[in-house]
Structures are given as structure tokens and as C-alpha cells.
Amino acid sequence: MLLCLRSQATRGVRFSQSLQRGQRGKVDLSRFPPWRRWPKAGIQRIKNWKLPEVEPAFDLFACDDPKLVADALSEVVPWKRKRFHHEWLHKACTHLRTLLPQMEPPDLLRVILAFGELYTKRRRHSLLFQDYETYSQLFQALPIDVATEKSLLPLMRCYRRMGVLHEPFVSAMCNRVVDGEVELTPSQLSELVQIHGDLKIKSPRLELDDSAWRCDRMNVSTFKQETAVRFGSWGNGSPPLLLGAIPCPTGCPGSPGGGGMVRITLEDPAGALGSQYLSTVTVGSTQSSAQRGPKSHFDFPSVAGTSETAQVDIYRKVGTCKVAFNPTTTERVSCQVQPDGELKTLDLTLQTSPEQSELSWNNIFGWCNSSTDGAEAAASVSAVPVSEGAVVLPIGTGPRMLVLTDVGEEIDDEASLWLLHQHLNASPTLEADIVFVTGSPLERATRWAQVLNSLPENHVLTERIQYYVGPTTTRHMRYRMMADAAELLSAGLATLINKPFLGGEYDVVLQISPISGFSSDFASPPSGPLGALAHVVPRPGAKGLTYIVVGGEGATNFPRDELHIGFKKYMTEKGFSAVHVEKANYLNWEKAMFETFPPKLTELVLDDEWNKAVGRIPPMVANLFVRFRVNTLVNYEVVDRAFAAFEEDLRGTPDYVRATKWYISVEKKVLQSIRDTYVKISRESDNKSKDTFGNVPVSEKVKGMKMSWESICSRVCVRDILASTDITETTFSKQTVDDVMGHAITNMTSKLLKIYAFNRYVSGRDPDVAQLEPYLLGTKDTSPMDFRNFPELHGDISAIQKEVVGNPMYDPAGMLVGLVALSADEEQASKLALKLSNTESLIAPEDRTLAMKNAYAGQGQFGVDIFFAEKEEKMTRAATLSTEVRLLFITDAGDEADNEAALWLLSTHLENIEELRVDVVFATGNPALRAMRWAKILNSLKKEDIPGVKKIHYYVGPETKREMRYYTKYNPADLKTAGMVDLEESIWDGGKYAMIIQASPLEGFSENFLSPPGGPEGSLGLLFV
């Protein structure tokens, strides 16, 4: 039996050798459908590990012959059943879509059936691989006449498995059976009915008995015969409806021209439709409608012939309004409509026109049509959504934003779109277009649809956001998911497949993702979606045109390539101010922001924050600068914060001691694995890059930037590297970029693996080195240090996971700036662009956090007004008023109480000396920890009792190995409460002072005062009188 299976499994392989000849041996393969060339027992019955690797006999992706491509796909696709085949299948789908217009119907049929084979014997109604965009286009391109007795049911099975939403196709299939064009056996007909029921199509086509449509020219009262046809279920579990047809005699009331009529009666015995629906019946080209009741009548002119088809459509009622008006005048009459459904209040204005001939009224949508030249005199209807107390402009007239997003990479994109949604819901004059770009846009849209679908049923989604898709690329999503038609439909995004982005008119363009896939030719762009960026133009009447990119040049969202640089240049030429939102305007996640989030978004944020802690950015993603910054700064502080919470509670316990000893035993292997895999791959990736940075000493400046590699590193990261290696403060600057990044990753991994080992010991297991290999070395499908391969933790680890919330909010910070720019006038937008160009903070960090919370809470314009508020300018050390006196106080708080006492004395006297301002610099050891001790003193007071709040600025000096006498746990929340927001980022770099008080040793500062180095080490050389 095994030999037989293997023989069958190799049949597809042999075919590829003679694919181009169209036959195998003496057998003409064109005589057989594709499924006859697959194993007779079914590929689904063969174990995955027994499946051969089947490949086409030629380069499929370089072939432009649609027939050859279809032949190859029909033979190869059914064998691609493993997860690692998905990349090949997505690439094949992308190539297939370019050839669809040239494909013949039989080729389309074979390709559909080939993809439809990717199911398992246990799950026959769903596929192992989904590409909704390709599947939809295949069915849209397929002509109906390919459906025959042999192919109709296989096509319908594929349609169900693929989750496609294309009702005209289903209706056409059923019509061919009803009209007798395709004859099915009873068992086939039964299966078709079952599939039709599973698809839940609400408007089935009905065939009435011939006798019901004969006009017998008898009196209605003596006509006894009535034909009733029972509907199938028109909705989820709804009772059936009855449809009957009775012929009326010639000249019956209401018949046009006195001709014969046919009255159709629609009965709803169970009252399932109630009064919330409108029913319409269409016969031929004539349509009639009525509001639902127990029984509705529809009268039609009789038709020639003996049979006719009636189509029944059911529409949901959205509201009613009674208006009293005088038909002899043209006065406007207004009314308010309170809809029964979820739509907002409608403001309707009605105006009658003089009586006019040749007017026709559409009963369904309520418009009046005229074939005469005076059509402008016809009755007009305007409907505009309004909110209480607001003046609403019609859609298309207000300021408009374009958002280019790659939802599915990090949670920042989803959080940004939610911020946009909340702000637009409260700002009725603003509009936005969202374009899902890179990878598979429909997959990215599905992830956003999941967030929208988790909202309460009574939540109203703004109608002023339109969604579009950009070109498909080979880029993978970090959080991969298949495009789901049901999710998209439920979220109102099902039409995305037919909504490619083609450009538009905008005030603000916000780029929170790369834009690969679009054409870089802005002078002569190609037609269609590829050239869409060249059709992004200013909106007429726009006041402050702004193009915003989150992250600097060379970062993830802005690679230095022809496309990104060309788009920036194009936007500038069109009059937009091109700016980058960078570190100075970022803010960090706070749990308080989750209060206004949809449940799914909160879940995704927590998952993403934890994944960032345990997973490293892939070594071939972005560029070396991004990888270095993320590993030595962003991720490092998150991991350190989680480990500090873990260590504080469990330090000294027997299991913690065992976990530490275990890690020491594997430390060398971990370090070597990181160097041989992650660091090595990262170096190879940088060497191959056009924008290579090189493995230079960290003391050198980053290519194309003003900062040094050393200045990027977190102070905590530097502290740990100095403590865990023989590197000293003087030799640290001589270390290479790769060495420092390798040490940073090793230190992060050591903390995470201690948590893992402790978790294993607590749960009664021993740590397993074998579980670490996929994480450290990567697998065939994943890169080294991928979060998916981190060993599973057991039990409740929520306390540790909550500690990792606090990563920077990159994209939401950019969205907040974009919303500010959207509401700014020309002068305000100019000031905004100038500050961003100089990488300055737009407002104070605490004000930025408040503005973000207000925007998430849906406070609209009020949420961003803080950016425009007239506030007292904060004094800087570089430029101060001549009447001010500045004092520098260098302290090593945390060793003896004298320092804290001195700070208290200084603070209390500041209240009485108006012109005095103070800069406090915490020096030696870990400066941020020294600040914690002073912060606890301030937090023991009431906020209004803290002296000198507005006159003291706090900074940190260079770190050293000096230990604190009184150790305390680092807690950024305590620092923030004490007024030391972002203290670790507030690096002291000298200044102009009238007085200097040194209450600490000066360890860590450079002795070179003539040519001081950059960073905090050289700040003493930048003191001025």
C-alpha cells in the first residue's frame, strides 16, 4: 500500500518533465481534466511528510505565456500543502493576477480547481492557503458558460472553500440549472441546494408554475386558483415566505392602458420581516415595491408567453419621516428623521417642482427622473449626516488626510487608525483615506477588520473614512493572517477588492509604512494603482499642506531608495512641507489609554508589547541603524523593566538561584549562538545593502546623521555591558557596532532565559537546552531570536507581561501630529513644519501625553488645541534672559542624606528668588537610579506643595560602575509623578551658568576640555560663563 501511495504521489512530478509537450508518453493530457491527473486516492489522503516536492519544469515567474502558467499551476499547486509553501503560492498568485486578462476560460477553470484542492479530508470546506484577492479575481474573470454538468459542482465547492463574496456568480450558476442549460442528477441538485444554503444568499431566484401566468379573462371574484411557491430560508434561521401569482383580467383597476395584469402576493405568515423591511419584486424590466406586512400585493402588466421569473429583493428600513407640503408652491420643507437602524440622524430637505410630463418615480430609492430638458425642476432630495451642535459639510469639501499604512507589522498602525477614527468621529468637517500597502493589502485589511468587529454593536463608525488597497508586494507581515471575506464583510470593507488606490486631493499625507510596490517614475507614471502616488495632489483651498513620515530617513518607513526619495521630492514640488516625526515627539504606551480601545485592539497591544520583549527585530529587516537602535535602546529598556519587576519579587528564592546557575552553565553557548547567527546575518545583510553602514567603532557618527552610534545606546544597556564584560568606560568607544549589538542581545537574552528557567523550576520541570535552539538559531521559516520560537512559559505570567507596556508609540505619535496639521491654518502649519525639521519637540512631553489621551477619548479639536495654546516659552540653557541667573548643581543623591537635604534647601529657596533657575545633574553610578531617591521624597508631598517645580530642570550625567549606598528600584512612573519625565533621555550637555555647585565626584566625565567628546562624557568641556 505504501508503494502504491508513493507511486501515485510521483505522478505529478513526472508530468513536469513533459509539460511543454502537452502529453506524457502516448497519452494526450489535454483530453483529461486536471483532477484526473492527480492521485486517484486523492492528495488529501497522503501524509504531508510523504508528499514529494513538485516544481514546474520552467521558471514560472518569468513566463508570460498564460496557457503555460495555467498548465504548470494546475499540476503543481495541489502539491503545495505545507506552510512553508505559502510564500511560493503568494508569489504565484501575484504573477497569476498579471496574466488573468489574457487567460482563456478553460485555463481559468483549471487554475480555480487546482487551488480548490488545497483542503484536508477532515476540513473539506476550507483551504490550507488563502489569497482572497486572487480568488475573487479568478471568479470575476470566469465566464458563466464554462459551468457544465461536470464542472458546475466542482466550481461551487471551490467557491465555498475559497470564501469568495461574488453573489452574481452564484446566481448565474443557479440560473443555468433553473433554465435547463445544465442538467443535474437528483444527488447533484441536492448538493447544489446544500451549498447554496451554506452560502446564505438572501435573494434566491424563483421559478413559478406556468399556469400561474395565464390570463384567463375571467372575473377576479370567480378566479379560485392560486399558485404558491415556498421560499428557502432568506436569512439566518428565518421562517420561509410564500409567493403566489394570480392573473388579473384585462381592464382590472390600475392596469396601464387597460391591459391585462398579474398580481403577485408575498405572504409572511410568521411575521419574520415585520415593518423593518421593504420588499421589491422584479418581473422582466418592471419592478414594484411595498412595505412589509403579513401579505403584500404587487401588480404587473401581463407578459407574452407562458412563464416568467420573479426576483424578490428585501431591503432594510432605515427610517421614516412625514412631511406636510403644498404641491402648488416651491417652498423648501425640512424634517428630522430618526432612523430605526444604526445610521446617524438624517436631515432631509424637500422641494416640489411644477407639474411636468414624462416624470418617472423610483419606488426603492425615492428619486425622480425626467426625460425632458427641464430636469433641474424635478423634485430634489439632499441627505447629510449631522451631529448635535455641529455644522456638517457634505463629504468631499473638508480637510482631507491620506494615510499609508502597513497594518500587521507592529500594533502602532492599528492604534493610529483607531486614533484617526476617534478624532474624525468628533470632528465632522474632517475626512481621511486609508490605503493598505506592501505585502498583501487584503490581509492587512483583515487584521484591521478584526479590530472593528470587536466594537460594541451600538458603536457608530465614521462614514468619512474611505479604505483602499495599494499594489501587492512580496513583503511578509509580522503577524500573518489570511484574508477573510467574512471579517471584511462584517467590518464594511468587503468592497476593498475593487477599490485600488488611484490618487486624490489632500491637505495632509501621513506615511506610517514603507511604500514599496508603487512606481518610482513620477514624471511619466504608469496607469492604474502602480502610478497612484504621482496623482496625490493638494486639495483646492488647503491651508497647510504637510507630508509627514514617521521616523527619519534611513529608518524602516523611509529607506534611502529611488522610490521614497523620489516621492518626497515630488511632494515638495507639489507644495507640501516634507517633515519627519522622530524621537523628540514620540511618547510611550500607558495602560490608561486602553480605556477607549476596542477589546481586540487592547489584546493586540498587550501581545505585541510582550512579543517585542522576547523577540528581536529580524537580522535582515530594515537596516543596520534600525536594528542597532531597537536592540540597544527600545527593546533593551522594555526587557530590563520586565526583568526588574521579576527580580524584585523573586530575588533570593531557591528557584531564582537555580535559574541563575543554570543560565551561567549555558551562557557561553548562548553568546556564541548569537554571534554565529543573528550578528553574522545582520553583518551580511548590511554588506549587501546599497545603504551600508559598515562595522565601525561606536564612537563614530552614523553615516548621514549627526549622532554617534554610542549616543544611541540606552544608559541601562551600557551599564549592563560594562558590568558583564571586561570592557571599560574608556574602551567602550572603541568597540564595533556589531560587538555592542551582540552584547546587548546577549544581555537581553540572559534576562529572558532566567525568567524561562525560573518558570520551568516552579512548574516542576527542568530547563531544556533543546527548546532554546529554534529561538537562538532560527528555523527554516523563521529568523534567529523570533518571538514565535521563544520557549512557552507556564502558569500566570501576567504580572511580568504587564511590566513590558511602555514601548514608544511611533505611528500614533505621527498620527497625532498629522491630526494637528489637518486642523492648522497656514501660519500654524508653517511653525509646525519648522520645529519638526529642526527635530524639536512640538510641546512638552506631559502635554503631548495629555493630548494623546484626549484624542483617544474622542474629544476632537479640543484634544489637539493644546498644540496651539499660547504658553510661556520654557527657558533653555543655550539662550536665556539677561535678568536670569542659572545655577548648576551636580549631585550623587543616594549615597548619603546630605545630597537630598541640599536639594530640599535649594528647592525651598527658589520660591523666594524670582530670577534664579537651576539645572540638577545626577552623576556617577546609575544616574537615573539616584534620581529615584529624590523622586520618592517629592512624591511624599502633595503636588501643590512641591517647591520650585517650574524652576528646576533635571538631567543625567554619564554612567559609571560606582555603586549606590542606598539601592532602590527604578520606576519611571515615580519619576514622571515627581516631574522628571523622560529623565533618561535628558542627557546633560553643558550650558551657561553663573554659579556651579559640585556635591559629587566627577567620575565618568572626560578629562579632555579642549576637544571634548560628544555625549554626556564631554559636557564639562561645554560649560560657559
Asked whether residue 322 is domain-assigned, the answer is no
CB 589 within 8 A of CB 805: yes
Total domains, the chain: 6
Asked whether residue 695 is domain-assigned, the answer is yes
Last residue of a domain, one of 778, 803, 828: 803
- State whether 795 and 818 are in the same domain: no
Residue given cell 549589538 in the structure block: 741
What are the helix (H) ranges across 763-844? 769-777, 798-803, 810-823, 826-837
Where would I find the beta strands (DSSP E) of 256-330?
A: 261-267, 277-283, 286-291, 295-301, 309-316
Report d(CA 312, CA 282) in Å as an integer.
7
pLDDT at 355: 40
Domain that holds residue 228: 205-316
Report d(CA 831, CA 824) in Å as an integer.
10
Residue 322 is placed in which grid cell?
A: 412625514
How confident is the chain (1025 residues) per 10-residue block, as mean pLDDT? Answer: 34 39 43 50 66 82 89 87 85 89 88 87 78 83 86 89 80 82 84 79 41 27 30 39 46 40 65 61 63 59 53 65 60 56 49 40 32 34 30 56 91 90 85 93 90 82 87 84 80 80 94 94 91 94 91 88 94 94 85 79 79 85 88 86 78 87 91 92 91 92 87 89 89 93 93 89 86 88 87 68 71 91 87 88 85 82 65 37 71 83 82 79 87 86 74 87 76 82 79 86 84 79 75
Q: Which of 171, 176, 177, 207 minimizes the C-alpha distance to 189?
A: 177
pLDDT at 900: 84
Asked whether residue 106 is domain-assigned, the answer is yes
Q: Which of 168, 115, 174, 116 minimizes the C-alpha distance to 147?
A: 174
- State whether 642 and 736 are in the same domain: yes
- State whether 570 and 640 are in the same domain: no
Q: Which of 773, 776, 758, 760 minimizes the C-alpha distance to 615?
A: 776
- State whether 508 and 555 are in the same domain: yes
Report d(CA 910, CA 235) in Å as an integer.
74
- State whether 542 and 573 are in the same domain: yes
Last residue of a domain, one of 178, 199, 220: 199
Rg of the chain taking only CA atoms, in angstroms:
35
Asked whether residue 391 is domain-assigned, the answer is no
- Report which secondary-structure segment, H or E, holds 627: helix 624-629
Asked whether residue 134 is domain-assigned, the answer is yes
pLDDT at 677: 94
Q: Which of 735, 747, 638 minimizes the C-alpha distance to 696?
A: 735
Asked whether residue 76 is domain-assigned, the answer is yes
Report DSSP letters for 958-978, one per residue. Answer: ---SPPPSS-----HHHHHHT
Helix 654-674 vs helix 737-762: crossing angle, to nearest 10: 150
- Report which secondary-structure segment, H or E, holds 191: helix 186-199
| 3-state secondary structure at position 1000 | coil
What are phi and psi for residue 881, nearest 5 degrees?
A: -70, 150
- State whether 564 and 640 are in the same domain: no
Asked whether residue 876 is domain-assigned, the answer is no
pTM of the model: 0.48
- State whether 677 and 774 are in the same domain: yes
- State whether 426 and 570 are in the same domain: yes
Q: Which of 435, 511, 508 minimizes the C-alpha distance to 470?
A: 435
Last residue of a domain, one of 268, 289, 316: 316
Q: How far apart are the first and last CA of the chain?
A: 93
Report d(CA 265, CA 168) in Å as an integer.
26
pLDDT at 547: 96
Asked whether residue 728 is domain-assigned, the answer is yes
pLDDT at 17: 38
Report d(CA 926, CA 930) in Å as an integer.
7
| 3-state secondary structure at position 123 | coil
- State whether 194 and 105 are in the same domain: yes
pLDDT at 389: 31
CB 774 within 8 A of CB 671: no
Positive or negative, the Cα torsion across 612, 615, 616, 621? Answer: negative
CB 241 within 8 A of CB 229: no
CA dihedral 360→362→368→369, nearest 10 degrees, is: -50
CB 928 within 8 A of CB 970: yes
- State whether 822 and 911 are in the same domain: no
pLDDT at 646: 79
**Contact residues for 92 (Cβ-Cβ < 8 A; gap 6+):** 60, 61, 73, 77
Q: Which of 191, 341, 186 minimizes the C-alpha distance to 275?
A: 341
Report d(CA 807, CA 613) in Å as an integer.
10
- State whether 295 and 431 are in the same domain: no
- State whether 19 and 145 are in the same domain: yes
DSSP letter (8 states) at residue 630: I
